[in-house]
Structure 1
C-alpha cells in the first residue's frame, strides 16, 4: 500500500533538518534523569535518581559530577545569577540524606551545595522560583515557603485549603507572580486554580479555575503584560494581557502539551499527538504553532527541558541529554511537497515518487538523531533508498526538492 504525504503551507510542519540538529551530549548508564536547568547557553545541570548531579560549563561538550549531600528526588533548579542557585525536591519516606521537603543552595556556580531546609515529615517541593540571590519561593505538596535571606529563615504561606498541592510558581517581576495549584475533589476530579499576586506574595487571588481530570493543567507560561497560556487536558487556555482566560482550541484536539518554557518571546512546549513526541514553538502566544520531531521513542521519554535563550535548547530523557543550538533557524514554514513512499514498513528498500522531475537531496536519520546516509539525485521523479543493512527500527527520511522539503517516518522491519 502506498503512503501519500501532503504538506501544505501551514505553521505546524516538520523538517528533518530540525530533527538532526538535536545532538546527544551526555548519557548515563545507571538511574534516570529527573531535572535539568541551564543558567546560560553553556552552563547547566542535570540530576539523576542515583543522587548524581552532572554539570557542564561548555555547552555539553564535557560533563563532570558535582558532590551534593542529597539522596532524594530533585524536581527543579533555578539560579539568580552565575553563582547563586537553589534546587528543590524531597521524599515521602525520608531517611538519612533522603530528605523530605528539601531545599539546596550553591553560592559558587554549582560546585558545592548545602542544605538550607529539610525535614523528616515526608513531602516534596516541585518548583523553585529565584527572585534574587537572597529571595526565593518553593512550592510543593500542601505547602509554599518564601525566604528573603537566602534560606536562613523561611516564611510559610496558607493560600486556600490545607490540602492544595502547588506545581509551579513564576514571577514576572519582584512583586508580580503566578502560582498553579490543584485540590482533590473526588475520584479522578481535581479543582485546578491559577493564582496571581501583585504585592510580592503577601496576598494571592484566583484568576482562573476549572474542575478537571487527573492530568488537569500541566504547565503555564506568562509574561509581564499578562499574556499567558495554561496547558493541559483542555489544550490551551489563553489570557490576553490579563483580560480573562479563555479556551482556544488546538487544530489537533488529541494534542496535549506536557511542559512548556518561554525564552526571548518564544514559547517552547513538548507535545504528544498520538504517541509521537514533538517540540512545538510559537512566537505569537499560541495563535500558530510550528513543530519538529525530536529523537525520542516510547522507551526514551522527555523528562525535562531548558531553554536559556530563544536560540539554544536542551532536554533530557530518562538517560540522555540532547542539545539544539539552532532553534530559530530550523523552525520555519515549508511549501507544498507531495510524495509517495512505499512500501512502509519495509524490509530493505523504499521507493519515493514526486509529481515532477526535480533535483533531489535526501538525508536518512535514525531515532537518536545520527545521520545514517545522504544522497543526491539529478532530474528525477522516482528514486530508491536502501535500508537493507540498517538495523530494524524507526528512521526519518528528509526529502528536499525545489526549495521545499518534508519528512517521512520510515519503519524498517
Structure 2
C-alpha cells in the first residue's frame, strides 16, 4: 500500500452556536451525523428536501438545570444515548419519537467521561472513581438498563487517577477488546478482552503526576496497534512524553515524537484504511497529521477543534468551541 502524504485540510463550517462547546460527535453512516453538547442540546443532520443542514434536534432539561452532555453513542441508526457529566449523572436513551432516562447516579463524585458500544445490545461508559476504582457502567439489553461494576471486579485506582471528558475518546473498542484510558496523577490503560467481563491494567510512559496530565484520547486501529495523546492542557505547547504508541494490544507503550510537536491535543483518530499508518489529532491549538504511525507529524492548521470522527479516508467531522465543521484532507 502506497503511503499518502496529506499536505492540507479544507474546513467547511456546518454549524455555529457561540454558546456550545461540543466534545461528543458520532457518524452513524454516510447520512447520519450526531452531536451532544452543553445546555442539554442534541443535534445532527436536518434534511429539508434535498437540502441538508446541521442543527439542534432536541434539548433536555432537568428542572431548570441545563445538562452538560460530553458522552454520546449511536449503536444503530434509530437509537442514540447521551450521558451528562457531574452529579447527578444522567443517561438518556433517545429514539426517533421518545427520550427515556435509563440510568441515574447521584453520588457526589459521579463524573462520566466517555461512552461506546460493542454492538446494538452491549455498551459501556466510564467515569471518574466514586470509590477506589474507575466508574464503569455496562448495558447488555440495548441500553434499557445499565449496571455499575463493583470495585471487586476492577483494578484499584491510584490516588488522583481519573479521566478527561475532553473528546469522548477515552474508550477504544475492536471486536470484543476494550481499552480505557485514564489520566491525572496516574495515567494507565484498563483492558478487557471480553466486553467488560474481566479487566487488567497496564502502565504507560505518558506524562502524569498532576491532575491535568495524562492521556486525553485513545484510538486503536486493530487488536494490536493503538495510539494515545494528551499532555497537560494548562501547558499546551509542552511536547515531552505526550504521545505514545503500542503494537502489542496495549500491554507496553513507547513514547514517540518526543520533544517534537504537536503538544497537548484532546483527540486522536486513525484514518480509515491506512494500514495503521495515518493519524490525525486535534485540539484547541490546531490540527496535525502523521503518515508514519506517529513518528513524525505535520501541522496542517491552527483551527481549533476538540474532537474528530472520520467518515472515510479523506473526510471527517470535527467539533469544538462554538462550531462543527466538515474537514477534507488532501
Q: How does the TM-score come out when normalised to structure 2?
A: 0.66
Shift of 1:89: 0.7
**2:316 counterpart SS class:** strand
Contact 2:182/2:214 (<8 A) preserved:
yes
2:178 pairs with 1:136: yes
Structure 1 unaligned segments of length 5 or more: list them: 1-9, 288-413
Change in 2 beyond 3 A, CA 1:183/1:257: closer
Structure 2 unaligned segments of length 5 or more: list them: 1-8, 16-47, 165-169
Residue 308 of structure 2 corresponds to 260
Which protein is richer in strand relative to its size?
1
Shift of 1:86: 0.8
Shift of 1:75: 0.9
2:318 counterpart (269, 278, 297): 269
The 5 Å alignment of 1:204-353 reads 204-210=253-259, 216-223=264-271, 224-225=273-274, 226-240=277-291, 242=293, 244-250=295-301, 253=302, 255-265=303-313, 266-272=315-321, 277-284=322-329, 287=330
Contact 1:192/1:211 (<8 A) preserved:
no
Q: Deviations over 1:12-52 (max 9, x none)?
A: 55679988541422321424223222112221111124322
Contact 1:104/1:117 (<8 A) preserved:
no
Tell me, in whole angstroms, the C-alpha distance in 1 between the residues paired with 2:323 and 2:294: 31
Contact 2:240/2:258 (<8 A) preserved:
yes
Tell me, in whole angstroms, the C-alpha distance in 2 between the residues paired with 1:131 and 1:103: 18
Contact 1:180/1:192 (<8 A) preserved:
no
Contact 1:183/1:191 (<8 A) preserved:
no
Q: How does the TM-score come out when normalised to structure 1?
A: 0.54
Shift of 1:129: 1.6
Q: Which has the larger radius of gyration?
A: 1
2:125 pairs with 1:87: yes
Residue 201 of structure 2 corresponds to 156
Residue 169 of structure 1 corresponds to 218
Change in 2 beyond 3 A, CA 1:244/1:117: same
2:82 counterpart (20, 39, 46): 46
Q: Deviations over 1:89-127 (max 9, x none)?
A: 125xx47xxx85211111111111112254685542341
Q: How many residues align?
A: 260
Change in 2 beyond 3 A, CA 1:239/1:53: same
Contact 1:46/1:53 (<8 A) preserved:
yes
Root-mean-square deviation over aligned CA pairs? 3.5
**1:36 counterpart SS class:** strand
Residue 136 of structure 2 corresponds to 103
Tell me, in whole angstroms, the C-alpha distance in 1 between the residues paired with 2:14 and 2:197: 50
2:68 counterpart (26, 29, 33): 33
